């Protein structure tokens, strides 16, 4: 047993238990979560060589393909900058293996990006399968991301 209580967060340097194994049907859910702000299909990269300078969602898996992180990135350096910040933590450096990136158009608002992250967590059932983590709510997701694609 991991010693992590449901709903409790582990210490920052502890390795939390991984989530479910990422399956091929899970990947398109990242782009779907972004709605009209999805700028391309999701793609993967090794975590230490990711080049994704746009805003968007990202899903990190360990060497066994288990989901270990779902996040969003906005602002300077996009997903690449966010991943670099994660890799400062020793446990993330040792566990993060590959990252799936779902790029978003720059015009996406922070509330839309947060709702998209929450929707993705719900669609992947991560709230129940990774109770030690938290994600934003998906409230008003469709009204925030359901607009026409921007060019």
Q: Measuring CA to CA, how many Å separate 101 from each of 45, 47, 106?
A: 8, 10, 15
pLDDT higher than 70, residue 9? no
Does residue 34 form part of some domain?
yes
pLDDT higher than 50, residue 87? yes
Nearest CA-CA partner of 22 in 55, 54, 70, 56: 70
pLDDT higher than 60, residue 53? yes
Does residue 141 form part of some domain?
no
The band of 125, judged by pLDDT with boundaries at 50, 70 and 90, is very high
Does residue 128 form part of some domain?
yes
Provide φ and ψ at 76, rounded to 5°: -55, 130
Full domain range(s) for residue 33? 24-135
Q: What percent of the chain has pLDDT over 90?
A: 79
Domain tally for the chain?
1
């Amino acid at each position: 047993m991991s010693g992590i209580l449901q709903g409790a967060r582990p210490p920052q340097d502890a390795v939390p238990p991984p989530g479910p194994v990422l399956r091929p049907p899970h990947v398109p859910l990242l782009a779907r979560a972004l709605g009209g702000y999805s700028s391309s299909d999701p793609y993967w990269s090794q975590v230490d060589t990711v080049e994704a300078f746009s805003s968007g969602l990202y899903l990190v898996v360990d060497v066994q393909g288990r989901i270990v992180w779902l996040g969003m990135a906005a602002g300077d350096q996009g997903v690449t900058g966010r991943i670099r910040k994660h890799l400062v933590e020793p446990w993330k450096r040792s566990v993060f293996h590959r990252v799936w990136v779902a790029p978003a158009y720059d015009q996406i608002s922070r509330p839309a990006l947060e709702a998209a992250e929450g929707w993705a967590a719900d669609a992947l059932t991560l709230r129940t399968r990774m109770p030690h983590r938290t994600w934003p709510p998906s409230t008003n997701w469709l009204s925030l991301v359901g607009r026409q694609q921007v060019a």
